[in-house]
Amino acid sequence: MSKSFGPATVLDDVSFDVERGKITAILGPSGTGKSVLLSTIIGMYPPERGQIYVDGEPLVGMRHRDLMRVRRKFGVLFQDGALFGSISLYDNIAFPLREHTDLTEAAIRDVVHTKADLVGLVKHLAKLPGEVSGGMRKRAGLARALALDPEIVFFDEPDSGLDPVRVAHLDVMMRSVQQVTGCTFFVITHNIESVRRTADHIGLLFRSRLVTFGPAAEVLASERPVVRQFFEGSVRGPIGMDEMVDADEPADETDELALVGGAHSA
């Protein structure tokens, strides 16, 4: 799949498979197209080339009615939780249930409390988003993403704005929730330690390409220059100060993209 905005190619021939019931994380330097990748997968942006399959169904070119049916399999946790600030955490979690189901308020209450219990928020449901910490807003956003029992949950930088201790707690909670629900989790992030704790599969975007993708242990142990530099947080290697510089400069001794030979699947 490829995605461009005008003359700028943001994603170039990106291809990979996400394993059902596992946590897949896509990392990469800032500005390398991670959030665009997520937005394209969930249908916010149409790709210029390629196809996106969910359970074998092609999304690009799909009729609107069928696309809405497939999207019912999705839950999304945005960077800031994307909560409505004027209503309680309870009503935020209940919102998709009221919008997309015919459940009674009693049934909605049961679902809200079940999802809130998964993320440890039952005692705080009456509070407004502005009255709780950033970590609690993230948890409320996750509970809302789980409200319709999705098969796939997308996370866009779930640890943004959190201190390292809260990130560690969030990681433990994510693993626990994934195991309890059996959902497929797809995570966009640049937090290496978080990925080490949570991911089953890892991909790395660089210069608009997916330079590696595979089981977490294999990717973390990779000796490829761009992969090693990213996970070591080193200034030595093909990743420069910003993506525009990266795109104008040759990689290390051998071209990393030539080494990889395109995208990898797992």
- Looking at residue 263, what is its pLDDT? 40
Give ranges for CATH 3.40.50.300 in the chain: 32-78+87-187
Strand partners, 155: 77, 187
- Looking at residue 234, what is its pLDDT? 80
pLDDT digit string (tens) for the chain, length 266 residues: 999 999 999 999 999 999 999 999 999 887 788 989 999 999 888 999 999 999 999 999 999 999 989 999 999 998 766 789 899 999 999 999 999 999 999 999 999 999 999 999 999 999 999 999 888 898 999 999 999 999 999 999 888 878 889 889 889 999 999 999 999 999 999 889 999 999 999 999 998 999 999 999 999 999 999 999 998 888 887 877 665 444 443 444 334 443 343 344 33
The conformational region for residue 182 under phi > 0 = left, psi -120 to 50 = alpha, else beta, is left
Q: Which CATH architecture has domain 32-78+87-187?
A: 3-Layer(aba) Sandwich (3.40)
- Looking at residue 78, what is its pLDDT? 81
List own/partner pairs for 247-253 with CB under 8 A and 24 or more apart: 247/207, 251/225, 251/226, 252/225, 252/226, 253/225
Name the amino acid, one letter, at 23.
Answer: I
How many of the other CB atoms lie within 10 Å of CB of 228? 16
Sign of the Cα torsion 33, 38, 44, 49 reads: positive
- Looking at residue 95, what is its pLDDT? 95
Q: Which two structure tokens, joined as six digits, stand for 213?
A: 């993708």
Judge residue 188's burial from the number of C-beta atoms within 10 Å of its C-beta, 0-12 exposed, 13-18 middle, 19 or more buried: buried
